[in-house]
């Protein structure tokens, strides 16, 4: 865009929310705006929010889909509490999002869509763009649809409907102008997507330009804005979602372990993107099997693990419930296995597209019998990569199923990721058993499948095809060392304790406490995806003069060895969680401390403001 005129106002941070009908392409618009923002060097965080229905009836509240992006010239910890700018493509999008838009914020609405019919669909008796009800906001009614159609007059082969479909690009062009975003990436993207359809490509590009030009020429927008790049560590970056990072982490971890990834999975929201991503990685040797059900998914993974592969199954909470028996079998067989749970609102089908952290106790205890399973929970979209590598380390070192607890917010949220060096990832090479490991009573060499490594308590991984190590394993209690069926009472107790001791003995790093003033008497303890909101809230609270310490758990089983001491160092402990208080219950039970729970289950991440309030109230 040459020859841009007008003033540019510098800003340090902005939150924009694109909202429209499920069919309006808001996720794509948000994705493209995010990519432009990343390319500019701003730090950012995103929050897609969409209904479970693929296309709810057009123009209705249940059909509203939105995408929020928070970007700044400094490090960004959350997708932002409330938008500074709401782009509303129809009355439903305005009505659904207005309660979260603070007074004084900017609203850009497609006035063409505010017809009597569309207004009545969502219960507006009068047009809010005209009736004065929005006078506390900066409202820009823009004829997005009709200007898009006019801009595409040169495309007679396209129907009016097809032309209207490009209005999301008009909106993107306008917002790109407003926030001085480069559109080269979007042009290249459209080229790749519609290259084979010249008319559609041309129309989208024309709509993008028309939106930009409209911003530049209209007098409706006094100024455009610029947000300087954020200072970031030197390196190469990309923007990445949690599900993509997690998939790559599994592949990288397996690569460092010298193992082939074998994924058995059944599609489920919000985990399906892991199945999609891994299915596209055949060139990297990744094997994916879309199973007939959740149980078969984990069965396939466990069968592959018996064969010496990195068995993985990916699912969400309802799928974990179905897989529970097989996880128990894996505990008994003591084979490496990774169970990815991208948590969503529950119980039952619950809120398939919304986030929650309510599977912690299911991961911890949701099996019959004493069946301990290690749990790793990533704290941000990019941390999904490292947490997956860590899950591979624990599974292969200790020969155990591992629960990797992501959630809907991490899965679909995106942030800049400083790319790691593959060769600098941990060395995870595994040793398969290759020969006898014991002697029988007569001194002849024998293989004992349950003879443990004294350091890790892991049993040998003896894969079929290895001569001389033929053995049988199963879900019936096994005799210590030999692995033969045993109903002996003392043996069962010994094996139960051994399985627990193996998990308890997993080495995990100490939890780090952040307390800049050194004077905090309140500790905020979090886990998983609440890291961003807690860190942002603590930062704000400290700026307000409240002394507060934070600690964030990535390992939930076993807990870091120093956790008990850390908790006892503080007078008060606050545990914010997107559940009814599950971690709070675990730490209260284990460490006998009076942890206070701050528990919400609204299907959306915590806002910084509500946590600042909770922290300030308890610290007071």
Partner 1 sequence: MAKPLGTTTHEHAGSVDLGMPIPHGLDGIPRLAGDAKLTKKDYTSDQEVRWCPGCGDYIILNTVQSFLPELGLRKENIVFVSGIGCSSRFPYYLDTYGMHSIHGRAPAIATGLATSRPDLSVWVVTGDGDALSIGGNHLIHALRRNVNMTILLFNNRIYGLTKGQYSPTSEPGKITKSTPAGSVDTPFNPVSLALGAEATFVARSLDNDRAHLSHILRAAAAHRGTALVEIYQNCPIFNDGAFDAIKDRDQQQARLVQLADGMPVTVGSKDARQVLVRTDEGKLVFVPEAEATPERTVVHNASDPDPSQQFALSRIDDASMTHVPMGIFRQVERPTYDDLVRGQIDAAVTTAGGPAGDAELATLIAGRDTWTVA
> Among residue numbers 484 through 543, which ones bind partner 1 (CB under 8 A)?
484-485
**232 sits near partner 1 (criterion: CB under 8 A):** yes
Q: Which of 300, 376, 403, 556 binds partner 1 (CB under 8 A)?
A: 300
Tokens at 97, concatenated? 């999002």
Q: Minimum distance from CB of 250 to partner 1 (Å)?
A: 12
Token pair 């409706």: residue: 220
Q: Minimum distance from CB of 424 to partner 1 (Å)?
A: 10
Q: Are 340 and 315 in contact (CB under 8 A)?
A: yes
Nearer to partner 1, 172 or 300 (CB): 300
Phi, psi of 263 (to 5 degrees): -100, 125
Q: Are 89 and 55 in contact (CB under 8 A)?
A: no
Q: Which of 466, 486, 540, 597 binds partner 1 (CB under 8 A)?
A: 466
Stretch of 16-24, 104-112, 471-479, 564-572 contacting partner 1, by CB under 8 A: 471-479
Nearer to partner 1, 127 or 484 (CB): 484
Q: Which of 153, 472, 490, 620 binds partner 1 (CB under 8 A)?
A: 472
Q: Are 403 and 412 in contact (CB under 8 A)?
A: no
Token pair 């897989």: residue: 323
**282 sits near partner 1 (criterion: CB under 8 A):** yes
**149 sits near partner 1 (criterion: CB under 8 A):** no
> Among residue numbers 323 through 342, which ones bind partner 1 (CB under 8 A)?
325-326, 329, 333
Nearer to partner 1, 78 or 186 (CB): 186
**194 sits near partner 1 (criterion: CB under 8 A):** no
- Residue 406: name the closest of 537, 317, 328 by CA: 317
In the shown chain, the binding pattern of residues 405 to 434 toward partner 1, with x for contact by CB under 8 A and - for none, equals --------------xxxxx-----------
Q: Which of 57, 468, 505, 516 binds partner 1 (CB under 8 A)?
A: 468
- DSSP, collapsed to helix, strand or coil, labels residue 261 as strand
> Among residue numbers 89 through 118, which ones bind partner 1 (CB under 8 A)?
none
Q: Which of 107, 251, 339, 578 binds partner 1 (CB under 8 A)?
A: 251
Q: Minimum distance from CB of 89 to partner 1 (Å)?
A: 26
Q: What is the DSSP string of 154-182?
A: T-TTS-HHHHHTTHHHHHHHHHHHHTT--
**289 sits near partner 1 (criterion: CB under 8 A):** yes
Q: Which of 51, 311, 378, 401 binds partner 1 (CB under 8 A)?
A: 311
Half-sphere exposure of 241 (CA within 13 A, CB side): 21
Going 350 to 355 to 356 to 359, the CA torsion angle's sign is positive
**592 sits near partner 1 (criterion: CB under 8 A):** no
Give the span between the Cα atoms of 512 and 535, in whole angstroms.
Answer: 13
Q: Are 302 and 275 in contact (CB under 8 A)?
A: no
Query: Angle at which helices 242-257 and 272-279 pack, to 10 degrees?
Result: 50
> Among residue numbers 119 through 148, which ones bind partner 1 (CB under 8 A)?
none
Size of the site for partner 1 (CB under 8 A): 71
Nearer to partner 1, 158 or 261 (CB): 261
Task: Classify residue 614 by its DSSP letter.
Answer: H
Nearer to partner 1, 230 or 553 (CB): 230
| C-alpha pair distances (Å), 72 with each of 22, 75, 275, 607, 612 | 28, 7, 33, 17, 20
Burial of 82 by CB count in 10 Å (0-12 exposed, 13-18 middle, 19+ buried)? middle
Q: Which of 130, 131, 220, 470 binds partner 1 (CB under 8 A)?
A: 470
* Buried residues in 220-230 as b, exposed as e (16+ CB within 10 A): ebeebbebeeb
Nearer to partner 1, 291 or 394 (CB): 291
Q: Minimum distance from CB of 437 to partner 1 (Å)?
A: 16
Q: Minimum distance from CB of 470 to partner 1 (Å)?
A: 5
**187 sits near partner 1 (criterion: CB under 8 A):** no
CA angle (269 as vertex; 265, 274 as ends), nearest 5: 50
**182 sits near partner 1 (criterion: CB under 8 A):** no
> Among residue numbers 377 through 406, which ones bind partner 1 (CB under 8 A)?
385
Nearer to partner 1, 182 or 581 (CB): 182
Q: Minimum distance from CB of 410 to partner 1 (Å)?
A: 17
Residues contacting residue 289 through CB under 8 Å, at least 6 positions apart: 262, 263, 264, 265, 297, 300
Nearer to partner 1, 111 or 255 (CB): 255
**581 sits near partner 1 (criterion: CB under 8 A):** no
**372 sits near partner 1 (criterion: CB under 8 A):** no
Beta strand segments in 509-568, E: 513-514, 522-527, 549-553, 555-557
Residues contacting residue 140 through CB under 8 Å, at least 6 positions apart: 106, 107, 108, 109, 220, 221
**235 sits near partner 1 (criterion: CB under 8 A):** yes
- Residue 51: name the closest of 29, 80, 19 by CA: 19
Q: Which of 255, 502, 539, 588 binds partner 1 (CB under 8 A)?
A: 255
Task: Classify residue 116 by its DSSP letter.
Answer: H
């Amino acid at each position: 865009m040459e020859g841009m005129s007008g003033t540019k106002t510098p800003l340090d941070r902005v939150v924009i929310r694109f909202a429209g009908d499920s069919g309006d392409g808001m996720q794509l618009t948000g994705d493209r705006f995010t990519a432009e923002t990343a390319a500019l060097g701003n730090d950012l965080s995103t929050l897609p929010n969409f209904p479970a229905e693929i296309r709810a009836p057009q123009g209705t509240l249940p059909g509203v889909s939105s995408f929020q992006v928070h970007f700044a010239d400094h490090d960004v910890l959350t997708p932002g509490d409330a938008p500074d700018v709401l782009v509303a493509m129809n009355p439903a999008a305005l009505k659904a999002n207005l309660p979260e838009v603070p007074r004084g914020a900017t609203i850009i609405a497609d006035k063409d869509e505010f017809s009597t019919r569309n207004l009545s669909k969502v219960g507006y008796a009068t047009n809010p763009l005209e009736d004065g009800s929005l006078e506390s906001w900066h409202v820009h009614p823009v004829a997005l649809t009709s200007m898009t159609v006019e801009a595409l007059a040169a495309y007679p082969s396209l129907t009016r409907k097809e032309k209207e479909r490009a209005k999301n690009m008009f909106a993107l062009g306008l917002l790109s102008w407003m926030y001085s975003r480069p559109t080269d990436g979007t042009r290249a993207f459209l080229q790749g997507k519609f290259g084979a359809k010249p008319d559609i490509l041309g129309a989208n590009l024309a709509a993008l330009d028309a939106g930009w030009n409209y911003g530049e020429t209209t007098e409706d927008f006094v100024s455009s804005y610029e947000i300087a790049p954020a200072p970031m560590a030197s390196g190469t970056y990309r923007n990445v979602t949690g599900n993509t990072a997690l998939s790559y982490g599994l592949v990288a971890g397996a690569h460092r372990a010298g193992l082939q990834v074998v994924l058995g999975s059944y599609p489920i929201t919000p985990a399906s993107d892991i199945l999609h991503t891994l299915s596209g990685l055949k060139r990297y040797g990744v094997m994916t099997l879309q199973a007939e059900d959740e149980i078969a998914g984990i069965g396939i993974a466990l069968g592959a693990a018996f064969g010496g592969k990195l068995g993985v199954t990916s699912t969400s909470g309802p799928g974990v419930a179905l897989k529970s028996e097989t996880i128990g079998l894996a505990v008994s067989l003591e084979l490496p296995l990774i169970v990815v749970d991208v948590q969503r609102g529950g119980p039952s089908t619950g809120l398939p597209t919304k986030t929650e952290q309510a599977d912690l106790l299911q991961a911890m205890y949701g099996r019959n019998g004493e069946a301990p399973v290690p749990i790793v929970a990533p704290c941000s979209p990019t941390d999904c990569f490292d947490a997956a590598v860590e899950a591979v380390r624990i599974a292969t070192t200790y020969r155990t199923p591992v629960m990797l607890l992501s959630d809907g917010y991490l899965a679909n949220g995106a942030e800049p990721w400083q790319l790691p060096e593959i060769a600098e990832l941990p060395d995870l090479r595994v040793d398969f058993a290759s020969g006898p490991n014991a002697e029988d009573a007569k001194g002849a060499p024998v293989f004992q499948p349950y003879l443990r490594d004294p350091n890790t308590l892991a049993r040998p991984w003896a894969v079929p095809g290895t001569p001389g190590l033929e053995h049988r394993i199963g879900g019936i209690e096994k005799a210590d060392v030999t692995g033969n069926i045993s109903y002996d009472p003392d043996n069962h107790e010994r094996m139960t304790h051994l399985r627990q001791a193996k998990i308890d003995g997993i080495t995990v790093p100490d939890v780090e406490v952040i307390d800049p003033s050194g004077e905090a008497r309140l500790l905020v303890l979090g886990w998983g995806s609440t890291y961003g909101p807690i860190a942002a809230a603590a930062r704000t609270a400290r700026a307000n003069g409240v002394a507060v310490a934070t600690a964030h758990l990535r390992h939930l089983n076993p807990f870091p060895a120093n956790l008990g001491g850390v908790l006892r160092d503080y007078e008060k402990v606050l545990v914010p969680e997107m559940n009814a208080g599950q971690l709070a219950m675990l730490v209260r039970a284990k460490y006998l401390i009076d942890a206070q729970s701050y528990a919400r289950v609204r299907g959306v991440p915590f806002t910084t403001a509500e946590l600042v309030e909770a922290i300030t109230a308890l610290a007071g």
